[in-house]
Amino acid sequence: MMLEVDGLTKYFDTPSGRVHSVDGVSFTVSKGETLGLVGESGCGKSTTARTIIRLYDPDGGRIIFGGHDITHATQRKLLPFRRRMQMIFQDPYASLNPRMTAGEIIREPMIIHSIPKDEHTDRVSHLLKLVGLNSEQAGRYPHEFSGGQRQRIGIARALAAEPEMLICDEPISALDVSIQAQIVNMLEDLQESLGLTYLFIAHDLSMVRHISTRVAVMYLGNIVELAGSDELYTRPLHPYTVSLLSSVPVPDPTAQRHIIPLKGEIPSAINPPSGCKFHTRCPKAKPECSQLRPELSDKGSGHFCSCPFV
């Protein structure tokens, strides 16, 4: 197993109260697979990612990477794991230092991880080619590249220290639709050629279907459903997933569709609804839903769902 996350919690104390951003999240990611993590804005996807790579200290649960418990590892002990697990960010404009050249940006992790200096230039050229750029572009600054090219530089940087796992936090959301598929295809090719493991975060279920081996659906800090990609799309169980999928565009416009709209806005993570947190918006809610304690349970062949009524 590459990554095991067990009961992970992370909250933030703010002037308006405690935000329960990640509220007991458990999943595993096997070597070489892609786990898709989807959910509406604010459901806790980025906080989950940032806690796993220990940009935040977890408030509960465990993070096991490559068999090592890194939940409370010190910064010094984390360094070798940082090399093995890298993150790609949503905004290729904000995540690259505008005062560094592409080459310097890609070289920086090599310095941090003590890769011999005489290898750096060759490695930068190789990485630029790997992400579809050329070595002459190493001397250019981020503003001289397009959005898609900047994301390619971000990916080259993430690959610079030869990681085993990439956590991709909405890596294509900020890009033009025409560019999105190119970046996804490139990430798939890189996964295959380098044997990488991915946690791939997206807003939208349609974005992760193709790339993911399995998909986890998150709502207000919890995973409500987790299943193999095809299984989840063809046989969604949780009423939240069913609603999300009913609004995903289908290729055949004449196909019979039954859109199940979600009522209202996503509730605040400061005062989340009691019981099943989805009960305020659930088309199938029963009176007892505000009292029960939903837990992910296996509904058969690795299809996990937290609603006890499906």
Ligand X SMILES: Nc1ncnc2c1ncn2[C@@H]1O[C@H](COP(=O)(O)OP(=O)(O)OP(=O)(O)O)[C@@H](O)[C@H]1O
Binding residues (CB under 6 A) for ligand X: these are 12, 14, 19, 21, 39, 41-47, 203, 269
**Binding status of residue 285 toward ligand SF4 by CB under 6 A:** yes
Minimal CB distance residue for Mg ion: 46
Q: Which of residues 40-99 bind Mg ion (CB under 5 A)?
A: 45-46
307 binds, among Mg ion, ligand SF4, ligand X, none (CB under 5 to 8 A by kind): ligand SF4
3-state secondary structure 108-154: HHHHHCCCCHHHHHHHHHHHHHHCCCCHHHHHCCHHHCCHHHHHHHH
Tokens of 288: 């007892």
190 binds, among Mg ion, ligand SF4, ligand X, none (CB under 5 to 8 A by kind): none
**Binding status of residue 309 toward ligand SF4 by CB under 6 A:** yes
Tell me how crowded residue 51 is: count the other CB atoms within 10 A of its CB: 24
Q: Are the beta carbons of 220 and 43 closer than 8 angstroms? A: yes
User: Which residues, listed in sequence order, are joined to residue 168 by a DSSP beta bridge?
Assistant: 88, 200
12 binds, among ligand SF4, ligand X, Mg ion, none (CB under 5 to 8 A by kind): ligand X
Per-residue b/e over 208-234, b at no fewer than 16 CB within 10 Å?
bbebbbbbbbbbbbbbbbbbbbebbbe
Stretch that binds ligand SF4, among 5-13, 139-147, 251-259, 275-283 (CB under 6 A): 275-283
| Vertex 264: Cα angle to 244 and 236 (nearest 5) | 20
Name the CA dihedral angle for 63, 66, 72, 74, rounded to a multiple of 10 degrees.
-150
Q: Give the whole-angstrom CA distance, residue 260 versus residue 280.
A: 15
**Binding status of residue 239 toward ligand SF4 by CB under 6 A:** yes
Nearest distance from residue 272's CB to ligand X, in Å?
10
Measured from the CB atom, is 152 or 277 closer to ligand SF4? 277
203 binds, among Mg ion, ligand X, ligand SF4, none (CB under 5 to 8 A by kind): ligand X
Which listed residue (294, 296, 303, 304) binds ligand SF4 by CB under 6 A? 294
**Binding status of residue 217 toward ligand SF4 by CB under 6 A:** no
Any residues with CB less than 8 A from the CB of 176 and at least 6 apart, and which? 147, 148
Q: Give the whole-angstrom CA distance, residue 21 versus residue 9.
A: 8
Which listed residue (157, 276, 303, 304) binds ligand SF4 by CB under 6 A? 276
- What does the binding site for ligand SF4 look like in residue numbers (CB under 6 A)? 238-239, 276, 278-279, 282, 284-286, 289, 294, 307, 309
- What does the binding site for Mg ion look like in residue numbers (CB under 5 A)? 45-46
